[in-house]
Amino acid sequence: MAGDSDDAAKTVNGFYAVYSTFHPSDGIPDAAGRAKYAPFLSPALEDLLKRGNEAEQAFAKANKDSPPLIEGDLFTSNFEGATSFKMGACKADAKIAHCAIGLVYDDRKDNPKVKPISWDDTVVLVSTPGGWRVDDIAYGATWAFGNKGKLSDTVKSAIANATE
């Protein structure tokens, strides 16, 4: 289904174009941030991010001197985020698509001796009446302190930690 793969790739490109405007991205986006991402998010992911932001706010209010529940970049494997992205291949059926995204973090402008790092994450999309929408991101970090698992699990964990 090449047409489905192409449409899924367009959604991923749009999502990361918005993501690029937030660099550095930090934690769960607030309402204004989610509004920018909204055209590319599934209803389920949009709701999860909203609930995560609400939990983060409640936690911060109850724990004045504590760090946020989620620090660093939520949408990539790297804490500092990505400075560039490149679409990889997408595989789609009628209901779900998986798109590889090549990401790079290049900090040589501020730190010339540090080499850029690169990795691949996988964006999971679902077919909605409005077209393909990002539903999750599977982190592809291979280094010790990279994000592991999935974006959705990270946010769900933060929500659970906020209420403990």
Q: Write out the residue range of the structural domain in which residue 54 sits.
A: 2-155
Residue 163 forms part of a structural domain: no
CATH of the domain at 11: 3.10.450
Show the tokens assigned to 45.
Answer: 């992911």
pLDDT of 2 higher than 60: no
Q: How far apart are CA 71 and CA 62, in angstroms?
A: 17
* Mean of pLDDT values over 56-84: 90
pLDDT of residue 3: 61
Show the tokens assigned to 29.
Answer: 């986006």
Residue 45 forms part of a structural domain: yes
Of 152, 136, 48, the closest CA to residue 97 belongs to 136
Confidence bin at 113 (pLDDT 50/70/90): confident
Residue 146 forms part of a structural domain: yes
Mean pLDDT of the chain: 91
| Contact predicate 88/99, CB 8 Å | yes
Distances 33 to 4, 13, 22, 96 between C-alpha atoms, Å: 27, 17, 8, 25
Q: DSSP code of 40?
A: G
Count of domains observed in the chain: 1
Give 10-69 pLDDT, tens digit per residue.
999 999 999 999 877 788 999 999 999 999 999 999 999 999 999 999 998 888 888 888
pLDDT of 133 higher than 60: yes
Residue 161 forms part of a structural domain: no
Residue 120 forms part of a structural domain: yes
